[in-house]
Amino acid sequence: METVLAFDVGGTKTSCALVANGKILCKKEKATVGSNTAEDFVQQIFKMGQSWIDKADKVAVATLGLVEGGCWSAPTLNLIDGKKFPLANKLTKLFHKNVTIVNDAQAAAWGEYKFGAGKTKDMLFVTVSTGVGGGLVSSGRLITGKTGLAGHIGHIQINPHGLECTCGRKGCLQAYVSGESISFAAQPYHPGATTKNVFEQAEDGKDWAKDILHTSASLLTTAISNVKSILDIEIAVIGGSVGLAKGYIGMLQKEMLKEDDLYSVKITEAVLGSDAGLIGAASLD
């Protein structure tokens, strides 16, 4: 059985694990290095994995940002060398093992497909967290695309004159659906409110909070239906701290009932939690 040294590099934390057949054997986490060079990310990954590399047959990295042919671009991190950085090559030289790299939400989609909630060959994974990420499995294959953009549902543009997105464009879905956008929309009603506070206030019956969550859920549901019209997905697996917050999936399911059967997609909860990226990256061929 193959053992993989897997990493999940996120904006706030980086995880490292040994994974075999979809199971985490051991895992450690560290705050992601606060640096403006991709080289420092390489060093952090190497240092975290060094003591376990001898137990592994190969290395797999799930990371925020875009992955194209082993190169990594992380526009949101503002790295001076963070455009098409040869991450796979650099790590291969350090670990002396084969290294695969993949976008984190795409990796999580694959993890959920192989070992979690993905019980069909055509599925969309959506993580509603600080941002909105996604990954697509079609005909039993992870679709990453040539430039790594496939499945990034958060950057479907819903209003070209709308709110600014972290990607620099205006009116991306993420700017209306994400955890960050939910807390932003709450500020006039509840200065300093976190996303969790908005959920609490909605539970408490406050209309303003219910409206904000309804907007998020209803726009995401429409986007999921639109993905069905392109790829005929059967299910959407929802993860992320916002996606899994109490009541959110119920709202998506309720909104989906308004869709015609042809465009309706079954909504289910992700089951691998924060391990989906590690497990998915480790299970890619």
Which residues form the interface with Zn ion (CB under 5 A)?
Answer: 155, 165, 167, 169, 172
Among residues 15, 106, 174, 195, the one that binds ligand ADP under rule CB under 6 A: 195
**Greatest extent of the chain over all pairs of C-alpha atoms, in Å:** 57
196 binds ligand ADP (CB under 6 A): yes
Residue 133 and residue 177 in contact, taking contact as beta carbons nearer than 8 Å: no
199 binds ligand ADP (CB under 6 A): yes
Among residues 194, 203, 232, 273, the one that binds ligand ADP under rule CB under 6 A: 194
Among residues 76, 157, 241, 253, the one that binds ligand ADP under rule CB under 6 A: 241
Name the residue nearer to Zn ion (CB basis): 50 or 147. 147
15 binds ligand ADP (CB under 6 A): no
Scored b (16 or more CB within 10 A) or e, 119-129 reads eeebbbbbbbb
Q: Which two tokens stand for residue 128?
A: 């509603």
Residue 71 and residue 85 in contact, taking contact as beta carbons nearer than 8 Å: yes
195 by Cβ neighbours in 10 Å (0-12 / 13-18 / 19+) ranks as: buried
Among residues 29, 180, 259, 269, the one that binds ligand ADP under rule CB under 6 A: 180
Distance from first CA to last CA of the chain, Å, rounded?
Answer: 14
Task: Tell me how far apart the alpha carbons of residues 70 and 47 are, in angstroms, rounded to a whole number.
Answer: 20
Q: Within 130-169, which residues bind ligand ADP (CB under 6 A)?
A: 130
Q: Which does 41 bind (CB under 5 to 8 A by kind): Zn ion, ligand ADP, none?
A: none
- DSSP state, 85? B
Q: Which does 165 bind (CB under 5 to 8 A by kind): ligand ADP, Zn ion, none?
A: Zn ion
Task: Tell me how far apart the alpha carbons of residues 154 and 220 are, in angstroms, rounded to a whole number.
Answer: 9
Name the residue nearer to Zn ion (CB basis): 15 or 216. 216
Handedness of CA 163, 165, 166, 168 (dihedral sign): negative
Stretch that binds ligand ADP, among 5-13, 40-48, 69-77, 249-257 (CB under 6 A): 5-13
- Minimum CB distance to ligand ADP, residue 98 (Å): 27
Chain contacts with ligand ADP (rule: CB under 6 A): 10-12, 129-130, 179-180, 194-196, 199, 240-242, 245
